Structure 1
Amino acid sequence: MELEFLGTNAGVPSLQRNVTSMALRMYEERRSFWMFDCGEGTQHQILRSSLKLSKLEKIFITHLHGDHIFGLPGLLSSRSNQGGTTPLQLYGPPGIKKYIDTSLTLSQSRIEFELEVNEHTGGVIFEDGEVRVESRLLEHRIDSYGYRIMEKDKPGSLDLKRMAEYGLKPGPIYGRLKRGESIDLEDGRVLTPADVLGAPKKGRVVTILGDTRPCANVLPLAEQADLLVHEATFLHELHETAHNYHHSTALQAAEAARDAGAKELIITHFSSRYKDMEHLQPLLAEARSLFPKTLLAEELVLFPVTRHED
Structure 2
Amino acid sequence: MQILFLGTSAGRPTKERNVTSIALSVHGHFNRFWLFDAGEGTQHRLLETKLKLNKLERIFITHLHGDHLYGLPGLLCSRSYFDGAGPLQIYGPTGIRDYIESAFRHSSAHLDYELEVTEIEAGRIIDEPEYQVEVAELDHRILSFGYRIVESPQSGKLDTGKLARLGVQPGPLYGKLKNGEDVTLPTGQMIHSAEVVGPTSPGRIVTILGDTRPCANADSLARVADLLVHEATFAGGMEEKANEYGHSTIIQAAQCASNAQAKKLVVTHFSSRFGEEDVARLVEDASSVFPDTVAAYDYLEVDVLKGNN
TM-score by length of 1: 0.95
- For residues 109-124 of structure 1, what are the structure 2 equivalents within 5 Å? 109-124=109-124
Quick check: 2:53–2:85 contact (8 Å CA) kept in 1? no
Quick check: 1:53–1:84 contact (8 Å CA) kept in 2? no
Query: Deviation digits for residues 63-109 of structure 1, max 9, x if unmatched?
Result: 11111010000000011123352111111111111111111121111
> Matches of 1:250 and 1:84 in 2, distance apart?
41
**Residue aligning to 2:37:** 37
2:196 aligned with 1:196: yes
RMSD (Å), alpha carbons: 1.6
Query: Deviation digits for residues 138-157 of structure 1, max 9, x if unmatched?
Result: 00011100000111111112
Change (3 A) 1:286 1:145: same
Query: Deviation digits for residues 245-291 of structure 1, max 9, x if unmatched?
Result: 110000000000001000000000111111x3112122211211111
> Matches of 2:27 and 2:126 in 1, distance apart?
19
- For residues 251-270 of structure 1, what are the structure 2 equivalents within 5 Å? 251-270=251-270
Q: CA deviation at 1:49?
A: 1.7
> Which secondary structure does the structure 2 equivalent of 1:106 belong to?
helix
**Residue aligning to 1:10:** 10
2:285 aligned with 1:292: no
Q: Which amino acid aligns with 2:284?
A: A
Change (3 A) 1:265 1:180: same
Q: Which amino acid aligns with 1:63?
A: H
2:294 aligned with 1:305: no
| Structure 2 residue runs without a partner (length 5+) | none
Q: CA deviation at 1:36?
A: 0.3
- For residues 62-211 of structure 1, what are the structure 2 equivalents within 5 Å? 62-186=62-186, 188-211=188-211
| Structure 1 residue runs without a partner (length 5+) | none
2:198 aligned with 1:214: no
> Which secondary structure does the structure 1 equivalent of 2:28 belong to?
helix
> Matches of 2:308 and 2:239 in 1, distance apart?
35
> Which secondary structure does the structure 1 equivalent of 2:238 belong to?
helix
Q: CA deviation at 1:186?
A: 4.4
Q: Which moved more, 1:276-285 or 1:261-270?
A: 276-285
> Which secondary structure does the structure 1 equivalent of 2:135 belong to?
strand
> Which secondary structure does the structure 2 equivalent of 1:199 belong to?
coil
Change (3 A) 1:29 1:19: closer
Quick check: 2:63–2:210 contact (8 Å CA) kept in 1? yes
TM-score by length of 2: 0.96
Q: Which moved more, 1:101-110 or 1:55-64?
A: 101-110
Q: Which amino acid aligns with 2:276?
A: M
Quick check: 1:84–1:113 contact (8 Å CA) kept in 2? no
State percent identity of aligned pairs. Answer: 51
Q: Which amino acid aligns with 1:306?
A: L
Q: CA deviation at 1:182?
A: 1.5
Quick check: 1:235–1:282 contact (8 Å CA) kept in 2? no
> Matches of 1:84 and 1:71 in 2, distance apart?
22
> Which secondary structure does the structure 1 equivalent of 2:3 belong to?
strand
> Matches of 2:308 and 2:290 in 1, distance apart?
19
Quick check: 1:250–1:267 contact (8 Å CA) kept in 2? yes
Quick check: 1:60–1:91 contact (8 Å CA) kept in 2? yes
Quick check: 1:23–1:33 contact (8 Å CA) kept in 2? yes
- Runs of 4+, deviation exceeding 6 Å: none
